[in-house]
Chains A and B, each alone.
Chain A
Amino acid sequence: MFGFLVRRLLATIPVLGMVALFVFFMLRLTPGDPAAILAGDNGEPYQIEAIRESLGLNEPIPTQLFIWLGNILQGDLGESFFFNKKVTELIAMRVEATLSLATVTLIFTLAVAIPLGVLAAYRQGSWVDRLVMGFSVLGFSVPIFVLGYFLIFVFSVNLKWFPVQGFKKIGDGFWPFLHHLILPSFSLGVIYIALIARMTRASVIEVLNEDYIRTAYAKGLSNMVVLMRHALRNAAVPIVTITGIGIALLIGGVVVTESVYNIPGLGRLTVDAVLGRDYPTIQALILVFSCVYVVINLLIDLSYTLLDPRIRY
Chain B
Amino acid sequence: MFKKPAILAIALAFCASLFAVNPVSAETTLRVVMHSDLKIVDPIWTTAYMSRNYGYMVYDTLFALDSKLHIQPQMVGDYSVSDDKLTYTMTLREGLMFHDGAPVTAADAVASLKRWGKKDGMGQMLMEYTANLSAVNDKTMKLVLKKPFGLVLDALSKPSSNVPFIMPKRVADTPADEQIKDHTGSGPFIFKEDEWKPGDRTVFVKNPNYKARSEPSSWMAGSKAVNVDRVEWISIKDHQTAVSALLTGEIDYMEAVPHDLLPLLESDPNIQTAVLNPLGNQYMFRMNHLHPPFDDVRVRRAAMWAVNQKDFLQGVIGNPKYYKECAAMFFCDTPLATDKGAEIMMRSDYAKSKALLKEAGYDGTPIVLMHSTDLNVLANLAPVAKQNLERGGFKVDMQSMDWQTLVSRRSKKDAPGKVGWNIFMTSWQSLDILNPIMAAGYRANCNKAWFGWPCDIPNMEVLRKAFAEEPDPAQQKAIAEAIQVRAMEFGTHGHAGQWLGVAAWRKDLISNVPDAPLPVQWGISK
Contact = CB atoms under 8 A, between A and B. Distances in A.
Interface string A271-289: 1100111000000000000
A45 B408 CA distance: 10
Contacts of B61: none
Contact of A152 (B46, B198, B241, B440): B241
Interface stretch (B18-26, B324-332, B457-465): B18-26
Contact of A175 (B19, B200, B409): B19
Given A33-B411, A160-B248, A164-B248, A44 B238 contact: no
Contacts of A164: 241, 244-245, 247-248, 250
Contacts of B408: 31-33, 36-37, 277
A50 B200 CA distance: 29
B411 A90 contact: no
B199 interface: yes
Given A32-B404, A172-B21, A42 B161 contact: yes
A241 interface: no
Given A39-B47, A82-B39, A276-B404, 18 more contacts: A31-B409, A32-B404, A39-B46, A44-B121, A45-B448, A45-B451, A46-B448, A50-B177, A82-B40, A84-B40, A90-B198, A93-B197, A174-B20, A262-B234, A264-B197, A264-B200, A268-B199, A272-B237
Contact of B237 (A33, A45, A259): A259
B244 A157 contact: yes
A1 B46 CA distance: 55
Interface in B385-403: 401-402
A41 interface: yes
Contacts of B201: 264
Task: Bin chain A's interface residue count.
Answer: 35 or more
Of A37, A42, A174, most B-chain CB atoms within 10 Å: A42
B244 A38 contact: no
Given A40-B48, A44-B450, A83 B244 contact: no
Which of A31, A163, A261, A277 has the most B CB atoms < 10 Å from its CB? A31
Interface in A243-276: 259-262, 264, 268-269, 271-272, 275-276
Contacts of B18: 173-175
Contacts of A160: 248
A38 B40 contact: yes
Given A44-B121, A157-B247, A173 B19 contact: yes
Nearest to A166: B250
B411 A262 contact: no
A25 interface: no
Contact of A262 (B39, B178, B238, B451): B238
Contacts of B40: 38, 82-84
Nearest to B433: A42
Contacts of B411: 33, 36, 45, 48
Contacts of B39: 82-83, 276
